[in-house]
Structure 1
Amino acid sequence: MSQDCQTLSDYGLFIDPSNPTQHPRSPGVLYQLSTELFSNYASKYRFLFLPQGAVIDYQAKGVMSLPVGSVLVKTFALPYDTQVNSAENELLIETRLLIHRETGWTALVYQWQNQQAELIIAGKDVRHTLNNQGETLTFDYHIPSKAECKICHQVTSNDDNQNSKIMPIGLKAHVLNRNISSVNGQQQNQLSLWQQEGWLNGLPQLDSVAKSFAINDQHADLTARAKGYLDINCAHCHNPQGFASISGLRLSFDVDHTGFEYGICKQPPGWDGGPNGLAYDIVPGNGERSIVHYRQILSSAKDRMPPIGREIIHHEGAELIKQWIDSLSPSLGNCG
């Protein structure tokens, strides 16, 4: 893992090199998140490879640190129909690697063509058409360049954006705290399984571990669903060390969602409010007048949020955030 291989198969990560969605070679393990970054309705297949004998130390907040030698693998496959769940309904697009070397984390992107994934540096656009609940969507799916990976994965150690480094995003306790199917087909908590297998150290009682939920889980708490969605889609930039730190908007799961820092009656410093002249990130009780929701339904490169990673609107995610903001009491802040 010390070299940037030209083909994904050179790493020997999967038993079938042409299928990066299942059967990782030991010690690879599939992992799942309770809520995911939206990427044009792509399915994502995530695998973690830990060095032999290595252990992850549990962290209640933020991304858990992985030892040198760890590898994170994420494959994107675009559906032809978002309501059909099968391998035949998906087109392999890209596989991304995050490799933890002695010098830090390295991000590599591989494009799938003719059952083989080749390393790309400059990025690539791939035309795709899918059906989403009766709506036909044709768009250019953007595979990020090596430089663009830094927009989401970059963290800085001080306020002047110096000493930046690449870091993982999704390995947070609240999105890993979910049930998955174990080898024998039984449902088991993912964090408990990791501890049982000796991959995780220091896990507290599960009822004390924060938990977010899938956006379509109608039985789950609305705030936990909305905050989980904003955390995974926005907080990697909207945090004190992130790419959008200058905005002052902090959307991490553990930030108090009733305060100014989370956007309540907060004016953004770098956006003009769009054609509707919106003034505040979140207007409690009024999703339509809230910039956080509004920029979810914009598509131009200068206005949409997130700025990269999506070319089409995530209607389900936008509706969730609007519903949550509408549920907030106007008494939380004075937006004028």
Structure 2
Amino acid sequence: MDTKLLLIIATLFQCALLSACGGDDNQPNNNPSTSVPVTTPETPDSLCIGDDTQINWDALMTEDCPLLAQYGLFSNQNDPTQNPRQGGFLYQLSTQLFSNYANKYRFVFLPDGAKITFNPSDTFELPVGTVLSKTFALPLDTTLSGREHETIIETRLLIHRESGWTALPYFWHQGEAKLASAGADVSHTLNRQGEQLTFNYHVPSRAECKLCHQRTIDGRSHINPIGLKSQLLNHDIQIAGTLTNQLTYWQQQNWLTGLGDIALLPSASAITDTSTSLINRAKGYLDINCAHCHRAEGFASISGLRLGFHVDHTSYQYGICKQPPGWDGGEKGLSYDIIPGDAEHSIVLYRQELNSAKDRMPPIGRTLVHVEAMEVIRQWIDSLSPTLGTCQQ
């Protein structure tokens, strides 16, 4: 064969290997089958190379640093669960997105003088320069709390640059959080009420991040945050040892503008909060776990199902006697998203109990079934009056 032709084939083969490793726009202690991500070393003139005494805003706005520590977001770069540097503050959601029982440590970082703009029914407007950090720590036992009972797996950043939002997943391996553009996997075992569960936890690739965070407007896709909504933030949290309304505190600190009367705002309840109604608990859970895709601009818009907190839960668009397009009904052959009074034959519950890639909902982000939440969703659907709609069987 011609030497020049051989050289071309070899070059193409090498490029194929390199592209397979790429992506786009406390150390695990029980992960013998960890898949280690590939990182790209920075060049000598990279903004990622800097001092470690303050937040590296220049790098955050312009470069995808190979190591999380190079952004300088935390006082202790080995612990992204506490002590954010000046400009950062903790935030907590009233109900949680389920990620195989992982605990989440969330922080907002704002440029000096920047403010968040309140929105009563959708995600808040976050100024250019905002950084959102979310660290996932898997428990060893779901009944035990505290950092000593957890293993930090990943830290995700959402950065609002001049060009828009970008997502950067960092995987903790051998004491460092390394950029995992192509994603990563780690084996983990936890105890759930006496049941030992071993599973592969998946750190999403940058492309997979877009599946949940994208909104399509005027034919163009944009990445957007998910959890910074009024109903998920309007609750009391511990601040300096005192229970304080989170949104009121943000306003007092000049981090938030346009809040208005806090007493008029609804608040979603945690799925475990038995002091509140089934409706509030179920709708809060479906909002944080499903509504980012099941909205008009979301990845699952074609389904016609709208699961936002402010959507009327007795309506057709919320799933009452609505038939979903493009799904075969599974082994049960189900036909309707929600059948009032009949959770056993409602797709909204069923698909959250399935675990195959073809049928599972949400499609990424979990390997286990959130059995405690599914019991609440089941009770809520069973409590709905059959008079809400007639689903012909």
Q: TM-score band, normalised by the shorter chain?
A: over 0.9
User: Which residue is equivalent to 2:238?
Assistant: 181
Q: Please state if 1:20 is matched with 2:80.
A: yes
User: Which residue is equivalent to 2:31?
Assistant: none
* CA offset digits 1:277-327 (Å, max 9, x no partner): 111000000111100000111010110100000001000111111111011
Shift of 1:179: 0.5
User: Which residue is equivalent to 1:60?
Assistant: 120
Shift of 1:204: 1.7
Cα separation, 1, equivalents of 2:197 and 2:326: 31
**Aligned residue type for 2:205:** S
User: Which residue is equivalent to 1:165?
Assistant: 222
RMSD after superposition: 0.7
SS of 1:262's partner is coil
Cα separation, 2, equivalents of 1:88 and 1:199: 32
Gaps of 5+ in 2: 1-59
* CA offset digits 1:81-138 (Å, max 9, x no partner): 0111121111110000000000000000000012210001111111000001111110
Shift of 1:256: 0.5
User: Which residue is equivalent to 1:318?
Assistant: 374
Cα separation, 2, equivalents of 1:225 and 1:205: 23
* CA offset digits 1:54-100 (Å, max 9, x no partner): 11111001100100000000000111101111211111100000000
User: Which residue is equivalent to 2:50?
Assistant: none
* CA offset digits 1:174-200 (Å, max 9, x no partner): 0000100112x1100000000010111
User: Which residue is equivalent to 1:334?
Assistant: 390
Matches within 5 A, 1:245-256: 245-256=301-312
SS of 1:321's partner is helix
Shift of 1:212: 0.4
Cα separation, 1, equivalents of 2:335 and 2:220: 33
Cα separation, 1, equivalents of 2:270 and 2:308: 16
SS of 2:200's partner is strand
Q: Look at both structures and tell me which one has the larger radius of gyration over its CA atoms.
A: 2
Shift of 1:270: 1.2
User: Which residue is equivalent to 2:129?
Assistant: 69
User: Which residue is equivalent to 2:347?
Assistant: 291
**Aligned residue type for 1:10:** Q
The equivalent position to 1:272 in structure 2, one of 328, 349, 354, is 328
User: Which residue is equivalent to 2:295?
Assistant: 239
Q: Report percent identity of matched pairs.
A: 61
User: What is the TM-score of this pair, normalised by structure 1?
Assistant: 0.98
* CA offset digits 1:152-183 (Å, max 9, x no partner): 0000004xxx3101100000000000100112
User: Which residue is equivalent to 1:153?
Assistant: 213
Q: Please state if 1:119 is matched with 2:179.
A: yes
Q: Please state if 1:211 is matched with 2:267.
A: yes
Cα separation, 1, equivalents of 2:321 and 2:63: 48
Cα separation, 2, equivalents of 1:57 and 1:142: 33
Cα separation, 2, equivalents of 1:271 and 1:97: 33
The equivalent position to 1:103 in structure 2, one of 156, 163, 175, is 163
Gaps of 5+ in 1: none
